Structure 1
Amino acid sequence: MADFQANVIIAKPVELVFAYMANLGNAPEYMRNVEETHKITEGPIEIGTKYQEIRKVRGKKAVSEIEYLSFEENVSYKTRSNSNGLIVDYEYEFSEIDEGTQVQFKAVLHVKGFMMKLTKRMLVNILRAEDGDHLERVKKSLEEDGRG
């Protein structure tokens, strides 16, 4: 079950939307707290591809390693972020529709231990505040900035 989710319709072709979002090098453009991303594996994006992400969390820098758990071009992908034991899965599904591309997103936090379970709701709220509008920001970037 998702801890938070969102969906958006972007008036652009699925190939463009998928390519833009699946390349985490673009994340600083649409995720406001992400400062940098660096691909740390060679080759094309596929299952097992890894990125390092640097973001500001509550005024402090946090470094995460992000790995692709699934990847089907123009259809879906799932990544897992690990930052000091906080593990978050982000899953995206892309559908071509008459209006352009529908993107569905869900996030799942994995917590272990009593204390992490106690703070899970707070962690979900922090992540939702940081990343909850990123699909709207992708829409704005792709539609209003004249891409594609």
Structure 2
Amino acid sequence: MADIFEKVLIEAPAKEVFEQVADPEKAKDMFVSVTKVESLNDKVKEPGAKYREYRQLSNRKVGTDVEITEYQPFEIYGLTSQANGMKVNYRYSFKDVQDGWTEITFEGTVIPEKFILKLTKPIVTRMLIREEKDHLIYLKKFIEGEH
């Protein structure tokens, strides 16, 4: 069961929305806290592709390694991020709902990798919810503004 869940409708076809979301290089344009993205291997837009995403959080810059885990064009895009013994699985689902509109469902699951971190999972989850809560709204504005 997901710890983070969001849904939004975007006025654009699923193909276009998917291509924007599933392009790691676009993260710095779509999300205000992402400042830089760098590739960590020679895979691109496929399961196993790895990159490091840098975010500006309050007064510090944080780098997180991210791996693409699912890539089903125009339907599903999955990622895993790992930092400080905490793993987070993210999954975007794309669905054409009517002419030119796409429904995106976003789910995030927090997985503590050490016993002691299981105690802090609720705190980390709340922090991630706060951090991610508006990201689909930013995504919607970015994509709809592209038209």
TM-score surpassing 0.5? yes
Per-residue CA distance 1:53-82 (angstroms, 9 max, x = gap): 111334222211110111101010110001
Structure 2 match to 1:87: 87
The whole-number CA distance in structure 2 between the counterparts of 1:84 and 1:126 is 15
> What is the TM-score of this pair, normalised by structure 1?
0.91
> Is 2:104 the counterpart of 1:103?
yes
The whole-number CA distance in structure 2 between the counterparts of 1:13 and 1:46 is 21
Structure 2 match to 1:5: 5
Aligned structure 1 segments of 4 or more residues deviating by more than 3 angstroms: none
> Is 2:124 the counterpart of 1:123?
yes
Identity %: 29
Q: Which segment is superposed worse, 34-43 or 47-56? A: 34-43
The whole-number CA distance in structure 2 between the counterparts of 1:125 and 1:59 is 19
Q: For 1:24-43, what aligned pairs fall within 5 Å after superposition? A: 24-43=24-43
Q: CA deviation at 1:18?
A: 0.3
> What is the TM-score of this pair, normalised by structure 2?
0.91
SS of equivalent residue, structure 1 residue 120: helix
Structure 1 match to 2:72: 72
Does the 8 Å CA contact 1:81/1:88 hold for their aligned counterparts?
Answer: yes
The whole-number CA distance in structure 1 between the counterparts of 2:58 and 2:116 is 20
Q: CA deviation at 1:131?
A: 1.3
Does the 8 Å CA contact 2:85/2:114 hold for their aligned counterparts?
Answer: no
May I ask how many residue pairs the two structures share in their alignment? 146
Amino acid in structure 1 at the alignment position of 2:46: E
Amino acid in structure 1 at the alignment position of 2:22: A
Unmatched 5+ stretches in structure 2: none
SS of equivalent residue, structure 1 residue 32: coil
Q: CA deviation at 1:12?
A: 0.3
Q: Which segment is superposed worse, 70-79 or 50-59? A: 50-59
Unmatched 5+ stretches in structure 1: none
The whole-number CA distance in structure 2 between the counterparts of 1:3 and 1:122 is 12
The whole-number CA distance in structure 1 between the counterparts of 2:15 and 2:120 is 38
Does the 8 Å CA contact 2:39/2:52 hold for their aligned counterparts?
Answer: yes
Q: CA deviation at 1:128?
A: 1.1
SS of equivalent residue, structure 1 residue 125: helix
Per-residue CA distance 1:24-67 (angstroms, 9 max, x = gap): 21112232222111122224311111111111334222211110
